[in-house]
Amino acid sequence: MKKIFVISILLAGAWSCATFTPSPPPFHIEDIPQAVTIRLTLDQRIAADEAWSDLKTGRTDQAGRIIARMGPENPVYAAALGYLDFAIGDMAGAEAAFKEALRTNPDMTPAAVGLAQIYESRGESDSLFGMYREILKQDPENRWAKPRFEALKNNLAADASSKAEAALGAGDLEAARKAFLQVLFYDPASVRADLELARIYRRENDPESALLHLKAALDLKPGDKALLREYADLLYDTRNYSQSLDIYQNLQGLDPKDQDLARRIEDLKSKLGVFEVPSQYQAIPALDAITREDLAALIAVKFSGFLDKPGAQTRIMVDIGTSWAQKFIIKVASLNVMNVYDNHTFQPRKIINRAQLAEAVDRLIEVLKASGVEFVPLVDPRRIRIADVAPDNFYYQPIVRVVSYQLMDLSADRMFEPERTVPGGEAARVLDLVLRLAK
């Protein structure tokens, strides 16, 4: 018994002489970023390093004494206090301290890391996701936050995607739309989410939003034939003919045998007046006097977006087979913008005068009005007096109307010069004025 007692005394003495080694905290303490360190004085830096070392090794008592000596004037004080509260289990105090640290020093990454761990402990996924993003804004390659952010992002996106697919399958477009938007919040690179949102918006008759999401999907997956075709089809349906034609032609280059694509391209070219415009068209503005075929081409090309509807009737013309402007002539004649003579001739190479230009412009305006375009005379037609065109002249009324819109001018002595030929530049300017009013 005496021996056991002695051993017990010796063991007790040995135990009393042993040094207690605390355990590191069960959470991550981020190092103080260099952007903050360089703003510290030497004394502040020494105190911060000591406090951080004690916090990381679990010496909370020593850390608390150092933090108390730091005082709030030290830029790392609030973050250090947050970790101290975290270590002793005061989560509310830790959260408040970390938020104060970020309010005064937005680049204090350790405070954001501390908040993230508090949100994680509470299971607050959305707050945690946002805090990870804030950390990675400051430090894109943060070794602690980056893998956690990726894992959380994938989990949240997958969960939102499952909800979206279920809603879509049930025909609940509103719930599906909200869920797919949530997918994009978590994962902006989700082609599937953008594509399905485009389809939902299209069904909801919101083409602008549909085009926005289809464009986003294409930016993520450029060159995808199926996406390009869907984008082009939507552009076509929303009457963005020029853009859709460019995409269809690119697709045709990838698949020249697609007959449906070829038909769509020809339809678009017809709507836009795109007939592989010959070099003669480009030369019109420089001509001293234009012909009827020149005028037909100018009207058909400049107003292609307005004259895409089918003509009122098919006109038989026996003399346009060799005209470079044949397709333009057919378009303007079918809409009665320019007349066909009783003997079924168009006389494409006949030089026109100002009176004939006025008549064509007047007819063009009537066609545009029928399409819903509003034209308001700038001068009361009843006040217009023309010295060289009598009221009983065949062209008098068309001339008065185009003058009332101030599309063609009278001279100072009220002369219209109806017989004068029309240079290409003048004809183009008149039609450009009409186009400006139409828009």
Do domains 34-143 and 164-272 share one topology? The answer is yes
For the ranges 121-130, 169-178, 303-312, the lowest mean pLDDT is seen at 303-312
Q: Contact at 8 Å (CB) between 400 and 381?
A: yes
| CATH class (in words) of the domain with range 164-272 | mainly alpha
Structural domain boundaries in the chain: 34-143, 164-272, 280-438
Q: What is the pLDDT of residue 308?
A: 67
Residues 6 or more apart in contact with residue 75 via CB below 8 angstroms: 36, 39, 40, 44, 104, 105, 108
pLDDT tens-digit map of 373-429: 899 999 999 999 999 999 999 999 999 999 999 999 999 999 999 999 999 999 999
pLDDT tens-digit map of 232-286: 999 988 888 878 888 988 888 888 888 999 898 888 877 765 555 678 888 999 9
pLDDT score of 52 more than 50:
yes
Q: How confident is the model at residue 225 (pLDDT cuts 50, 70, 90)?
A: very high
Q: What is the pLDDT of residue 268?
A: 83
- For the entire predicted model, the pTM comes to 0.55
| CATH class (in words) of the domain with range 34-143 | mainly alpha
pLDDT tens-digit map of 350-374: 999 999 999 999 999 999 998 888 9
